Amino acid sequence: MNPGQARPRSVAPSRTRWLVVGAAGMLGQDVVEAARAAGHDVVALTRADLDVTDARACREALAGADVVVNGAAYTAVDDAETHEPQAFAVNAVGAANLARAAADVGARLIHPSTDYVFAGDADAPYAEDAPVAPRSAYGRTKAAGEWAVLAASPDHLVLRTAWLYGAGGGNFPKTIVRVARERGGVDVVDDQRGQPTWTRDVADLAVRLVAAEAPGGTYHATSSGDATWFDFARAAVAAAGLDPEAVRPTTSEAFVRPAPRPAYSVLGHDALLRAGVEPIGDWRDRWEAAASSVLPPAPAR
Ligand SMILES: NC(=O)c1ccc[n+]([C@@H]2O[C@H](COP(=O)([O-])OP(=O)(O)OC[C@H]3O[C@@H](n4cnc5c(N)ncnc54)[C@H](OP(=O)(O)O)[C@@H]3O)[C@@H](O)[C@H]2O)c1
């Protein structure tokens, strides 16, 4: 979908009533906080409150909303290889249910997606309209979700993000620091490149996109710059006060996972710039800002 496309007139200009589904997820929690901090009325629904695979329940839950944020997802990338129908039910059917219900009530849907919709074999940042070619089951289900969202309404926003970390969930820097503390050293792949991104920055970007009445379409909600997992692991252990040398480089060949991982998963931010919305800053600066709130305090000796 072209981000320059005009918004339909049926969409209400005031965007004050936010509904966040999947609100207990790592990103969902920060969206609830960011939208409240921006002065919006926010209803937060966890999976227990709303199962997005239930179309009728979605229609009922979305009544009265101006903005809907889909924090619900099947995010177990490796498990999805053997449970693709379950992942599809949440990531594609669930997204379609929310997108149709949002269009019906004139609400704008913000739908997070992933760098895994791309093949990950490029050598320059992926543009928003680059062809999708997912290599994993998870990526296929997320690509289907994107399509369903933009087919339901050109006013909706797909925010592709990647390598997320945040206070409210398990994630890479937390795991690396724990393992480095427990074992004194950890091997981390140095041949996969991407953009470590703070959930709080994605949440803030969602609020800013809505405030700017940004055109519907696809945007890339990742930090700028790029890093390997090894680079990010060293930054994580340094922030925890450990010796960066505790992180040793290894290769994808030595660390095989059930789902293929992209070698180059760097996303460009031109659509944000065209919409006059500032992209998230450089990943190192953002990690420095985030680390103390994301990492648990060092255990007492
Ligand atoms: N994490 C990353 O590195 C990453 C990278 C790229 C893109 N993304 C995308 O960013 C978004 C947010 O990811 P996240 O890391 O915040 O995910 P998360 O922490 O795994 O949260 C997902 C939430 O969705 C809920 N959920 C699962 N099935 C549901 C259903 N049928 N109905 C309602 N809720 C359901 C989960 O509840 P339960 O816990 O009870 O199952 C969980 O609270 C997702 O769209 C993901 O694809 C994430």
pLDDT the model gives residue 5: 43
55: helix, strand or coil: helix
Model confidence at 15: pLDDT above 60: no
Catalytically annotated residue among 138, 165, 219, 264 = 138
In the reported structure, the alpha carbon of residue 23 is separated from the centroid of ligand 1 by a whole-number distance in angstroms of 9
pLDDT the model gives residue 298: 77
SS3 per-residue string spanning 139-195: HHHHHHHHHHHHHHCCCCEEEEECCEECCCCCCHHHHHHHHHHHHCCEEEECCCEEC
User: Residue holding tokens 């700028």?
Assistant: 224
Q: Classify the C-alpha dihedral 119-122-126-129 as positive or negative.
A: negative
Q: Which atom of ligand 1 is nearest to the CA of 23?
A: 43
In the reported structure, the alpha carbon of residue 75 is separated from the centroid of ligand 1 by a whole-number distance in angstroms of 5
Model confidence at 174: pLDDT above 80: yes
pLDDT band at 13 (very low <50, low <70, confident <90, very high): very low
Model confidence at 261: pLDDT above 50: yes
Q: Which atom of ligand 1 is nearest to the CA of 52?
A: 32
pLDDT the model gives residue 247: 97
| pLDDT, average across residues 86-90 | 98
| pLDDT, average across residues 33-53 | 97
Rounded to the nearest integer, the mean pLDDT of the chain is 94
Residue 255 exposure: Cα atoms within 13 Å on the Cβ side:
15
pLDDT band at 166 (very low <50, low <70, confident <90, very high): very high
Q: What are phi and psi of 227, to 5 degrees?
A: -155, 160
pLDDT the model gives residue 38: 95
Q: CB–CB of 134/142 below 8 Å? A: yes
Q: Which atom of ligand 1 is nearest to the CA of 24?
A: 43
pLDDT band at 255 (very low <50, low <70, confident <90, very high): confident
pLDDT the model gives residue 301: 64
pLDDT the model gives residue 183: 95
Task: Identify which has the larger pLDDT, 187 or 15.
Answer: 187
138 has catalytic annotation: yes
- 8 vs 261: CA distance, rounded Å: 38
| pLDDT, average across residues 147-157 | 97
Model confidence at 10: pLDDT above 60: no
H helices of 9-136, where? 26-37, 55-62, 77-80, 84-88, 95-105
pLDDT the model gives residue 9: 35
| pLDDT, average across residues 67-90 | 98
Q: What angle do CA 89, 126, 95 make, to 5 degrees?
A: 20
pLDDT band at 3 (very low <50, low <70, confident <90, very high): very low
The preferred substitution site among 19, 29, 45, 47 for testing ligand 1, maximizing ligand atoms within 8 Å of CB, is 47
